[in-house]
Structure 1
Amino acid sequence: MQPFKVKALVTALAGVTGYVLSAPAFAADGAVADMAPRPVPDDGDAVIFNDVFLSGAQKVDVSRFSKGTPLDPGAHLVDIFLNNNRMSSANVMFVRVEGQTAPQACFSKAMLASLGLELGNLDEAQLALFEQGDGCVRLNQLWGQAYSEYDSTQLRLNLQVPQIALSKRSRGFVDPALWDQGAPVAFANYNYNTYWSSQSVSGSGERHMVRNDYLSLSSGLNLGPAQLRSQVSYTGDSVHGYHWQNTQTYLQASLPLIKSRVVVGQSFTTGQFFDSIGFTGAEIATDERMIPDDQRGYAPVIRGVARTQAKVTVRQGGFVLLETSVPPGPFELNDLYPTGYGGDLQVTVTEADGSVQSFAVPFASVPDMLREGQWRYSATAGRLRDPSLSIEPMLTQLTYSRGVNNFVTAYAATQLADNYLAGMGGIGLNTLFGAVTADVTLSHATLHHLGTRQGTSFKLTHSYRVPSSDTSISVAAYRYSTSGYMTLRDTAYMNDRINANGIAPADVPRPKSRFDLTLSQPLGTYGQLYVVGSTTNQWGASGRTTQLQLGYSNTFRGVSYSLNFSRVLAGPNLQTQQNSVFLAVTIPFGNQSVHTLNSTTNLASTGGRYNAQTSIFGTALADNSLSYGAQVGYNQAGGQTNIGGNVQRQFSNMDVQAAASQSGSYRQYSGGVSGSVVAHPGGVTLGHTLGESFAIVEAPGAQGAKVANASNTYVNRFGYAVVPYLSPFRMNEVMLSPEGLDQNIELKQTSQAIAPYAGAGVLLKFATQYGRGVLLDLKQSSGAPVPVGADVYADDNEVIGVFGQGSRAFVRSAHDAGTWTVKWGEQRTQQCTYAYALPKQVKTRAMTHVAGICAAVQRGE
C-alpha cells in the first residue's frame, strides 16, 4: 500500500495524520463517553478508530488502519530512528506475526550491531534465535521493553530500546562501516571575475581603460578511496598580460583504520607548531574529523565515587553540559563536548538518599591541548615549495602531541632540511588560573659563506575566563627569539640569494619578539566590549610596531551599532602614529522574516581626515536568491563623492554578480560568475560551489523538487541536483520537498542519511513513481456515496487510493484508460467498478478531475 492511503483516510476521519484520536461516542444522556485513544490489547501502540462519525448504511472495516498504512510482508526501504536519533536508511524485513494486525520489523545480527546495539549481554537462547529460519529477529524477542513502530506517513521506522541494550559509544560516533567513499566523479569549482577601470587623462578628455581578469579552477577526480585534486588560476590585465599559475596538485586518501589522511603531491603543512609551508612530497597525519565529537578538542576527564545509584550533573557557567546516572562505586566521565576556552566545571553527585556532594574540576584550554589519552601526529617528507626560490631544499617534518592526563598535554616537533635543523618541545597545563602552554624551539642553520647560526625561540600562551565577570582572555601570547634563531624559510631564502649572485645579503629582518592580547567582556543588555592589541619588533630592523583596537557593540530595538578605535605606533621611537575612529549603525526596515532590507551608515576618521558612507542592502525573490545594494559616500581627503551599486543572483546551478562605482574621474565595473560542474555516472550536472564533501541527488522525473537543506537548489530537468556541502564522517540528512513537483510524479522517499568520506561525492538515489494524479468523484449506481475507507484497485490489483469523505478519493494512475475496482468488503454487494478514460492532460502540474458512476458488480463477475 502507498503512504497516501493513510493520509487520505486519516484526513477523512479526523483531519490529521499520524496518531488519531477516537471520535467521541455519546452515552444515553448525551455525555461524551470516550475521547481517548484506546489501545488494542495485542498492540500497545495501536489506535482504534471510533466509527460513530462514519455515517450511512454501509460501513467499512477500518481496523486494519489502526497502525497507519499496513505494509505487505517483505523488505522495505525505511529511515531508521533509534530512541529518536536518526541512524540510517536501510532495507528492513517485515514479517507476519501471529496475533499482530500488521507485519513486524525484524533484524539480522549484523544490522543490530551496525545500529549500535549491544549483543554481548544476550544469553544463549536469545543468540540462538539468529540461527533459526532466515536469521531475522524482532526487538522484543531480545529485550522485553523494546519495540518497533512504523510511521507510514514518513516511511520512518522508530526503534525504542532500553539503555542496557545500547553499546557504550562516544557521542557523535558514526560506525566506520557506514562511511561512504562515494561514486566515481569528476568535478570543478570555477570562479571568474572581470574588472574594468577607467580614469580621465588630464587635459586630453580621453579615458584610460584597464581590464583585469581572474579565473580560479579547483578540480578533482574520485575513483574509490583515491582522490586527485588540482588548483590553478589564470590572472592578469590588459597592460601586463596574463599567465597561468598552479597552486597545488595532489593525490589524497583517507585511512580509517588509523584515523588519518595521506597526501601525495603539492600541498601545505598545517602550521600548528612550525610556520605553514608549501611542499612537494608526501604527508600522513591524523584526520581529527574521523574522531567522535566528544573526543575532539580538549575537555577534562571527571572522576568521582558514588555511594549509591546516583545522578551526576556537570555544569559550566550555569549551563548543564552533561547529566547521567552512575552505579555505586568509582565513576569516570570522559565524553564532554569541548566548550571553548573554559571556565571551571561544577560537578554535583545526587545520591539515591537525596544527599548531595559537589566538587570543581579546573577547565581551561588553548588549541594545542588534548584530552587524556588522545594523540595526534603528522609526518611530512619532500621538497620545500616556494615560487620565490630558485633552489628548493629537501625537508622532513614530524609532529606529535598527546594528552598525558587531565592537566598536562605534551607535544614535540622537528624540521630537518638541507642546511637546516630545528626541534621543539612543549607542554600545555590546565590550571586553576587558566590554560597555559609553553614551548621552546632550537634551530641550527648553515648559511653559505656565513657559517652557522644557532638560536632559540620561546613561546608562552595563556587562556583564561573569569567566571564571576564572564571576562575571556582568549589569547595572550608572547614569543621571543634570539638573534641566531632562523626559520626554515629564512634559511632557504638567504642561501638562495647567495647562490643566485654569490654575494651574501645583509641580515634579513627576522622576528625578535611579539606579544598579542585579545580580551572580551560581555555587558549583558549593555552590549559587548573587546580589546585587541599586539606589539612586535625584528632583528635586522629598528623600531617596534604596536597596534591597539578598542571596540564596543550593541543592539537597541533592532538597531545595531558599533564603535571602534584603533591606534598604530611605529618607528624607532614610536614617533609615527595613526589613529582611526569608526562608527557603524545598521537599521532594519520592514518585515525581516521574508526578505531583508537594511541601511548602514559608516563614519570614519583617519589622520584627521574623515569619510562617510551610507548603504542600503537587501534580498528579494524566492529563497532570497537575489541580493542587492547601493551606496553613496564622501571622502574628505580627496574631496570626492563616490556612488555605487551591486547585485547578485543565486540561480539553482550558479551564482552571478555585477557591480559598478564611480569616484571623481575614476570608474569601475565588475562582473563575475561562480559555481561547479560535476560529471557522474548519470551525466553532467551544474551546481553551486562545492565544499569538500558533496552529494549528487538522482530523482528521475522529479524536476523542480527542492533540496530542502541546500539553499536555492532544485532537481533539474534531467532528474539530478548537486548538494554542495556535507560534513565528512558525520551523518548528514538530505531531504527533497515535493513542493513545486509535477503532479504526475510521486516521491517514494523524501529523505536519506549519509556519512561521506572527506572529499567524497556521494550519489543518492531517490525512488520516484510516475502516474497521473486524479481526483475521483464517484457515486454508487444506487446514488449512494462510496463508503469512507473503501480501497481503489488498479488493473494489476494494486491499491492506488482510498476514499475519504464526500465520496472522493485521490489516486495515481499509471495508465490513461482501464478499469478501477472499488472495494469496502469481500461481498459482491460491497464492490463496484469504474471504466475510466482520462482526458488529455494539457498542463502537467494540474490535477485531473473525474466524476462518474461506479457500476455494481454483477453476479458471476
Structure 2
Amino acid sequence: MRKTPVAMSLLLALSPSLAMADNYFNPAFLSDSTDAGTGSVADLSRFESNQQAPGTYRVDVYLNNEFITARSVVFKAAVAREPTSNASNVVTTEDGTGLVACVTVKDLLAMGVNIKAFPTLLKLPAGACVDLPNTIQHASTSLSFEHLRLDISIPQAALSNSARGYIPPEQWDQGIPAALLNYNLSGSNSSGDEPSNDYFLNLNSGVNLGAWRLRDTSNWNYAGGSDGTPSTQSWQHVSTFVERTLIPLKAEFTAGESNTPSEVFDSLSFRGVQLASDDNMLPDSMKGFAPTIRGIAKSNAQVTIKQNGYNIYQSYVPPGAFAITDLYPTSSSGDLTVSVKETDGSVNTYTVPYSSVPILQREGRVKYAFTAGKYRSGNDNQDDPDFMQTTLIWGGPRGYTVSVVKSPR
C-alpha cells in the first residue's frame, strides 16, 4: 500500500508522544515592572525543588539519636563541592531541604567530640562553622523540616569517653556573691499554777564569694522563770567553717569546725583542716557503685541490661570489644542480665553477678580524705587531743576494692 503525504501527516498527528516538564513559576508575576525581565525579583529557583530558605530556625538537636537541646541554629544553603551544569546553582541534600546546619567548634566541644584528634578543628576559631563530612569521617547532619529536628551523626570513635550526664568543668559556674540566713524559731507559753515561757532559735548563716563558702551554725535558748525563779537565756555556737572546691582534684577543702567522712571510721567532730574527694562533682551515672560490663559485639549491636526483670540500660556499640562504665547505681542487689543483639537478629545473653556493698567503688575510682586538727567534744569531761586521719579507697578491676587507712592518734 502506497502512503500519501496526507496520510503520513495524519499518522504523525495522531501518534501518542511523551513529554516531561518541571513545575515552573514565573517570578515576573511578583513584579510591578512592565519589563519582561525578572532581575528585580528574588531567585525562587530553590522552591521549584521543594527546598527551604536559608536562615535561623529553632530546632530540637539530636546527637546519635539522643536528644541534647532545643535551640536556634543557623542553616546555610548547600554548596556544590564540584562545578555543575545546573544554571540555578541549587544543590540537593540527602534530606531534601538543600540546607546545611552551621555546627561550630564550640558546639562540637559541648557534644563531647574529641577535638584534639582532629588537627583541622584545632586550627578553626570556636565560632567557625565546620564542614563535618570532610572533617570527621562518616559524620553528617540531617534536618527534618516538618518536625524541626536536626539529627547530628558522629562516630563513637570521634567522641570523648565521657559518662552519661557529664558536664565539662569549663562549663561549671561558682555562682554569684550572696549572703544567706536560715532560721527556725519555736516556743511555748503556758499559764496556770506554774506559768512558763520557753523559746528556741536556730540560725544557719553564710556568705558566698567566688569559690569560697563561709557557714556558721548557732543556737539561742530562752527559759522563762516561774514562782520567783529567774529566767535564763544562753547563746551556743555550734560550728563555723570555710570551704571551697578544688576542681582539678575533684575535691573540697574545709577549714574550721566540721566532721570527718564516715566511709571507714565513725564520723567525729574536729577543728582543723580537711581535704576530701567530693562525689557531687561526678555525674549521676558515676556516683555510687556499679560493675563494669564488658563484652564483644560482632556488628553494630544493641546492648540491653536488665536487673530483676527491668531494663536499666540500653545502648548501641560498634563492632569489637566494649566496656560499659556508666551504669546508674541501684539500691537493690540482683544479678545483671546482659543481651547483645546483632544486626542479623542473633542475640547473645550472659549474666554478671552484682551485690550492693557500701564501701565498694567503681573500677578506677579513687576516693580519699585527709584530716588534721583537734578533736571537738561536747562533753567537758573528755579530752580534745590532736589527731590526723587518712583514708584512701581505690576501685580495682574485677570488682575488687582496696582501702588504706590510718587511724587517729
Is 1:394 matched with 2:389? no
Choose which of 188, 198, 201 in structure 2 pairs with 1:215: 201
Moved more, 348-357 or 313-322: 348-357
Q: How does 1:796-835 map to 2 (within 5 A)?
A: none
Q: How does 1:340-489 map to 2 (within 5 A)?
A: 340-389=331-380, 391-417=383-409
Q: How does 1:42-53 map to 2 (within 5 A)?
A: none
Partner of 2:26: none
Is 1:226 matched with 2:222? no
Cα distance between partner residues in 1 of 2:198 and 2:213:
33
Q: How does 1:552-571 map to 2 (within 5 A)?
A: none
Residues 275 and 369, structure 2, Cα contact 8 Å, conserved in 1: yes
Paired AA for residue 145 in structure 1 = S
Distance 1:146 1:407, change over 3 A: same
Moved more, 220-229 or 326-335: 326-335
Deviation of the 1:82 alpha carbon: 4.4
Partner of 1:287: 278
Partner of 2:84: none
Distance 1:186 1:79, change over 3 A: farther
Note the alpha carbon deviations across 1:301-335, whole angstroms, 9 max, x for none: 12223344433221111111222333343322222
Choose which of 125, 138, 141 in structure 2 pairs with 1:146: 141
Residues 300 and 318, structure 2, Cα contact 8 Å, conserved in 1: yes
Is 1:251 matched with 2:237? no
Is 1:333 matched with 2:339? no
Cα distance between partner residues in 2 of 1:336 and 1:387:
42
Cα distance between partner residues in 2 of 1:43 and 1:129:
37
Cα distance between partner residues in 2 of 1:255 and 1:88:
32
Paired AA for residue 294 in structure 1 = S
Cα distance between partner residues in 2 of 1:42 and 1:279:
75
Paired AA for residue 304 in structure 2 = T
Partner of 2:252: 261
Deviation of the 1:385 alpha carbon: 1.1
Cα distance between partner residues in 2 of 1:382 and 1:137:
54
Distance 1:196 1:140, change over 3 A: farther
Partner of 1:116: 112
Cα distance between partner residues in 2 of 1:103 and 1:303:
41
Partner of 2:124: 130
Cα distance between partner residues in 2 of 1:359 and 1:233:
57
Moved more, 228-237 or 282-291: 228-237
Any idea what SS the aligned residue of 2:185 has? strand
Distance 1:177 1:190, change over 3 A: same
Cα distance between partner residues in 2 of 1:256 and 1:218:
26
Partner of 1:470: none
Distance 1:105 1:304, change over 3 A: closer
Paired AA for residue 270 in structure 2 = F
Deviation of the 1:413 alpha carbon: 2.2
Partner of 1:171: 164
Deviation of the 1:349 alpha carbon: 2.4
What's the TM-score, normalizing by structure 2? Answer: 0.71
Q: How does 1:746-765 map to 2 (within 5 A)?
A: none
Any idea what SS the aligned residue of 1:331 has? strand
Cα distance between partner residues in 2 of 1:371 and 1:403:
5
Paired AA for residue 222 in structure 2 = G
Paired AA for residue 232 in structure 1 = S
Residues 100 and 141, structure 2, Cα contact 8 Å, conserved in 1: no
Is 1:303 matched with 2:303? no
Is 1:235 matched with 2:236? no
Give aligned pairs, total. 335
Is 1:312 matched with 2:299? no
Distance 1:181 1:136, change over 3 A: same
Partner of 2:39: none
Cα distance between partner residues in 2 of 1:402 and 1:128:
35
Paired AA for residue 228 in structure 1 = L
Distance 1:80 1:216, change over 3 A: farther
Cα distance between partner residues in 2 of 1:163 and 1:142:
11
Partner of 1:612: none
Note the alpha carbon deviations across 1:575-611, whole angstroms, 9 max, x for none: xxxxxxxxxxxxxxxxxxxxxxxxxxxxxxxxxxxxx
Cα distance between partner residues in 2 of 1:105 and 1:225:
38
Partner of 2:11: none
Residues 261 and 369, structure 2, Cα contact 8 Å, conserved in 1: no
Cα distance between partner residues in 2 of 1:80 and 1:254:
34
Paired AA for residue 227 in structure 1 = R
Cα distance between partner residues in 1 of 2:334 and 2:211:
42
Note the alpha carbon deviations across 1:658-693, whole angstroms, 9 max, x for none: xxxxxxxxxxxxxxxxxxxxxxxxxxxxxxxxxxxx
Structure 1 unmatched runs, 5+ = 1-38, 47-63, 73-77, 152-156, 202-207, 418-861
What's the TM-score, normalizing by structure 1? Answer: 0.35
Q: How does 1:534-573 map to 2 (within 5 A)?
A: none
Residues 106 and 139, structure 1, Cα contact 8 Å, conserved in 2: no
Cα distance between partner residues in 2 of 1:398 and 1:88:
46
Q: How does 1:520-599 map to 2 (within 5 A)?
A: none
Note the alpha carbon deviations across 1:348-404, whole angstroms, 9 max, x for none: 223344333322111001211111221201011111111213642111111111212
Cα distance between partner residues in 1 of 2:387 and 2:357:
29
Residues 129 and 135, structure 1, Cα contact 8 Å, conserved in 2: no
Paired AA for residue 177 in structure 1 = E
Distance 1:231 1:335, change over 3 A: same
Cα distance between partner residues in 1 of 2:246 and 2:59:
28
Residues 301 and 317, structure 2, Cα contact 8 Å, conserved in 1: yes
Residues 71 and 103, structure 1, Cα contact 8 Å, conserved in 2: no
Residues 253 and 275, structure 2, Cα contact 8 Å, conserved in 1: yes
Paired AA for residue 237 in structure 1 = A
Choose which of 238, 257, 264 in structure 2 pairs with 1:273: 264
Deviation of the 1:114 alpha carbon: 2.8
Partner of 1:22: none
Sequence identity percentage: 31
Choose which of 167, 183, 192 in structure 2 pairs with 1:190: 183
Distance 1:128 1:290, change over 3 A: closer
Distance 1:80 1:241, change over 3 A: farther
CA RMSD of aligned residues (A): 3.6
Any idea what SS the aligned residue of 2:109 has? helix
Paired AA for residue 209 in structure 1 = P
Residues 365 and 395, structure 2, Cα contact 8 Å, conserved in 1: yes
Distance 1:183 1:104, change over 3 A: farther
Cα distance between partner residues in 2 of 1:93 and 1:79:
7
Partner of 1:723: none
Distance 1:369 1:254, change over 3 A: same
Residues 254 and 261, structure 1, Cα contact 8 Å, conserved in 2: yes
Distance 1:307 1:160, change over 3 A: closer
Any idea what SS the aligned residue of 2:313 has? strand
Structure 2 unmatched runs, 5+ = 1-45, 79-89, 92-96, 226-230
Any idea what SS the aligned residue of 2:161 has? coil
Residues 94 and 103, structure 1, Cα contact 8 Å, conserved in 2: no
Q: How does 1:440-839 map to 2 (within 5 A)?
A: none
Paired AA for residue 199 in structure 2 = D
Cα distance between partner residues in 2 of 1:41 and 1:130:
36
Distance 1:122 1:364, change over 3 A: same
